[in-house]
Amino acid sequence: MNKTPTPHIGAEKDQIAKTVLMPGDPLRAKYIAENFLENYECVNQVRNMLAFTGEYQGKRITVAGGGMGMPSVGIYTYELFHFYEVDQIIRIGTAGTLSDKVRLRDVVVGIGASTDSSYAAQYHLPGTFAPIADFELARKAVETGERLGIRTVAGNILSSDLFYNDHGEDLTKWVKMGILAVEMEAAALYMNAARAGKKALCMLTISDAPLRSEALSAEERQTGFTDMMKIALETA
């Protein structure tokens, strides 16, 4: 039985490419389609979570918003992997760095995604699962960044359920474990990919450094995001 469209994605199955780039913001998905893709069409407008499918240098690619937080990205990536038979999803987002090794506008490739979320509880595993990126995608992203002259740093990131944390000092505890940056989606993406036997990667433009009180302007954020998009498109 055909399970598409789904309750959250209005596209027919053949309207979604095998590779999906996923920013959190649906308007960012629209920007990517308009500025990087050829012959694109809007394939989803359900809940205004826009998705577009087009071509980049002859490769068919879908770019789709995933929302904020693991519950949201968990729904969209599950449906894409299981119902649309997508092969790989690359999350492209922004993050705050926790490391002195990472500067504003750097691109971080999330090799692993530590988390304070209970997302993995659904699998009833007899231990703790380590959500990790697909190695080939991660290696290609780092090599592409180096080739393009874009500073790229690879390592462990934190996927947190909390944007406003009642215990702000918790971030400093993650610093001790070598965490490069904090965001809110990658761990769920990596777990969904692992369970489905698919590929996933999270790439992040560093927009702020909360422990150093540094942040990019709106214009600087856009430039940094464009650098990351170049890497993601070449990696896809």
Alpha-carbon 180 to chain mean position = 15
Tokens representing 11? 């596209």
How many residues appear in the chain? 236
Quote the tokens at residue 32: 């990517």
* Per-residue pLDDT at 52: 98
Whole-number Å distance between alpha carbons of 224 and 107: 8
Q: Which amino acid appears at position 163 of this protein?
A: F
Nearest residue to 96 via CA among 149, 174, 191:
174
d(CA 229, CA 236): 10
Q: Which of 162, 141, 119 is nearest to 204 (CA)?
A: 141
For residue range 171-196, list pLDDT tens digits in order.
Answer: 999 999 999 999 999 999 999 999 99
Cα–Cα distance measured from residue 158 to residue 203, given in angstroms and rounded to the nearest whole number: 13
pLDDT of residue 51: 98
pTM of the model: 0.96
What domains does the chain contain, in order, with CATH numbers?
13-235 (3.40.50.1580)
Q: Low-confidence residues of the chain, pLDDT below 70?
A: 1
- Using CA atoms, how far apart are residues 107 and 145, in angstroms rounded to an integer? 8
Helices (H), the chain: 26-36, 70-82, 135-148, 170-175, 186-196, 218-235
Active site residues: 208
**Residue showing tokens 């699962």:** 129
pLDDT of residue 139: 98
Q: What's the pLDDT at 218? A: 78
Neighbour tally for 30: CB within 10 Å: 18
pLDDT at 134: 98
Q: How many other C-beta atoms are found inside a 10 Å radius of the C-beta of residue 76?
A: 26
